[in-house]
Structure 1
């Protein structure tokens, strides 16, 4: 006799953004699966991975918010990182085996000067232990097999780089960088510039675009909370779009916009900053988010729409 099947728990249609403070040792996907289960959410996704050894800000999108997750993938990121001078490892971080050990002869002044050299546009060679693919296979698979393949340098931008603490051989710094920057590689390159090598021992993401850890919640707190408390931590969908200029539409224009029609800019009351923006967020006269649009060539063209029962 077969055991009766357990009834399926109904999933909820949620729209919003959760700012998760990801714990150490958990992959971004594992964190997403756990949070999605706690919220009983139908649809959820994250906005860019954090390594298991990294902690900090991981925005998770639910429902309609997943349409705008790409904007955060493209956004600048801010990290606080600690590197250990004098030791290079196979992975560039504390998970790897030591490759070589050198004396640390620099002082704090030399560290500060070295950090300044990396501000601006720089070229990084992606690490072998990364998810970048070569011939359809992630680089880390080659690395685990003891193989090294040639990688092309990629240009990234270091917006800001400042020293937080210098207790040699450990150095803690804060960096704001463009999409595609490997902080492990940055630490290794700084170590080479100082003549002693380095590897990353701690990494915490504190900002993604305009989002910060200020309103984040831990997985532990979520697990212990009631469903009402969990829902109260959800940010609105437009939390992802706060850097975009805002456009408000009349009821007639709203209906046309939601049907995918382009609107003449000359017929809209729209600020100059919005006319010249790459993208704008669009609202109804009542303040409901309708989606994002691209202004240009005299029209406001719908790009991605928010679907609600009111639409």
Structure 2
């Protein structure tokens, strides 16, 4: 028997169902609007990022001299990398040396400058801006040309050293010092890393320093037992990004030294460029690019694995 109470319940069920359909329709409309707003970026990402990546992976298994259709050669390009190309080992060694020295130096100087600028003194905003300015133009061609002129035989650096009786140093023409000038340029471009360190320093509670100061901890002890552990996630972030960027270093070597002298600054990215756009070996260059991706991914994974031993996350109670 259908009672008023049953009808009332059915009415409530129908009303709830209508409400759910209405909410779903509104949600679908919002999702559609969201996709429409991001569609320019999504189309660009698919056409300019995903598709070239897929294409380069295919081309890495082909012989593609650019002026004719690619020809499938299987693993020949990869066997050539490890078996025939003598410049491969040289460029990889130069790149590893660059990463090994430039990344720690950049992290060290950016952290030291961030600590100096983490003070409430008059004009501190101006000082922070001045320190950050080189990073705005640090990767430009103009700065690379300026750096080349500074460290040339008749450059500003030798002119300054001439006041002390030191002359004739070929900073970029000597195989022993050429890579050092590129590392120095990378270290000078520490502004972005410094800003990230500065933001991390701002997040460290001041009471930790005050309470440790009351207990008699020195500034050095506070640095190693408070600043570094609390700043370790930021340091890890800068380390991974710095390592990835250093492996892809191209502009400085291309403009300042051209890979010389005696291939002492012939980085991996520069060799990849030569194979692709000078020798028109697009298939082989694609294989080189994918090997570089593998190396970066492997080292990044190693950093993530090692991070559990030295990166402290406050929300997780720390890691040991």
Tell me the TM-score normalized by structure 1.
Answer: 0.23
The structure that has the greater radius of gyration is 2
Compare the two structures and name the one with the higher strand fraction. 1
